[in-house]
A and B are shown apart, each in its own frame.
Chain A
Amino acid sequence: MNAISLLTLSLLQSVAKPVVTMADQMRSDGRIYVVIAVMLTILLGITFYLVRLDKKISRLEKQS
């Protein structure tokens, strides 16, 4: 009897609180920082490109 009630209780709990897997493993391993580094590098590259283009256009605007 006790075992059955325990089982129902644990079942109810599992229904009430579904276990959601998040990337906790990835975070504790420190791997998420790799993703951040990659994305920041891309952003840096785009920024660098836009700054260069902006300067080039500014120079042409001064010339004309």
Chain B
Amino acid sequence: MHRSWWKITGIVLLTYTITAGLLGPVPKLPLLQETIRNLYFHVCMWFGMMILFTVSVIQAIRYLRKMDRRYDLASRHYAGAGMLFGVLGYSTGMIWAAFTWADPNISFTDNFSTIARDPKLIGAAVSLLVYVAYLVLRDSIPDIDRRARISAVYNIFAYAILFPAIWILPRVMESLHPGQDGNPALDVKNDISSSMRIVFYPAVIGWTLLGVWIATLRIRMEQLKEKQLDS
């Protein structure tokens, strides 16, 4: 296997995440109860997404500086892996919210209308749609060089809206989503107990490495395709 040590690290960390994540001690909180363990899965999806999008924008900037097609390809597929994580984060958040935010005393539609207008959810949806537009825009330009240049510039704009949409906007408005108060936005030291932090940090690294692995596989595949076209 191609440069395998970090792939093995990622899988080992994920094995640890699942085992320690389900067995380890967690604070007993009303309403959250055992669902607090979703921190190792749902939250890690978003952290992984942010890291992958950051890698993507760095590759886009590198492309604009060097005009090397390799960076363009990397930028596209890191964004793709980030999208995968974002969609998974959104869907897992939907399930989690259905069991913790929803009020069992009111109807499903009333619950839906309260939860769906939460600024954190809208911000996340906006940023995901911006990246969907990135993929659509990129794949709709036939000329290779123009596609690379336009999508690299768009990538920078998409990245610029990502953090205001998911971190700043929900802090300005009232949100049900935890992790909005205080400074920094997610105060990992005080919001998360120490028994959870020893699982949470490895979990973020493990999930991110899995995402990087998927992205690199896609990049290598596309490079092979291009080589075949050239020859």
Interface of A toward B, CB cutoff 8 Å = 18, 20-23, 32, 35-36, 39-40, 43, 46-47, 50-51, 53-55, 57-58, 60-61, 64
Contacts and interface: CB of A to CB of B under 8 A. Distances in A.
- The main secondary structure of chain A at its interface with chain B is helix
Contacts of A43: 11, 14-15, 18
Nearest to A42: B18
Nearest to B1: A54
5 closest pairs, A vs B, by CB? A20-B28, A39-B18, A23-B34, A57-B220, A18-B30
Contacts of A53: 217
B221 interface: yes
A43 to B, nearest CB: 6
Contact of B224 (A18, A35, A64): A64
Report the interface size class on chain B.
20 to 34
Contacts of B34: 22-23
Contacts of A51: 1
B113 interface: no
Contacts of B7: 50, 54
Contacts of A39: 18, 22
Given A39-B18, A40-B18, 16 more contacts: A20-B30, A21-B33, A22-B33, A22-B34, A32-B22, A36-B18, A36-B19, A43-B18, A50-B213, A51-B1, A54-B7, A57-B220, A61-B2, A61-B220, A64-B227, A64-B228
Nearest to B221: A57
A51 B214 CA distance: 10
A35 to B, nearest CB: 6
B95 interface: no
B15 A54 contact: no
A61 B224 contact: yes
Contact of B28 (A22, A50, A54, A57): A22
A30 to B, nearest CB: 12
Contact of A54 (B33, B217, B224): B217
B30 A58 contact: no
A39 B29 CA distance: 24
B143 to A, nearest CB: 25
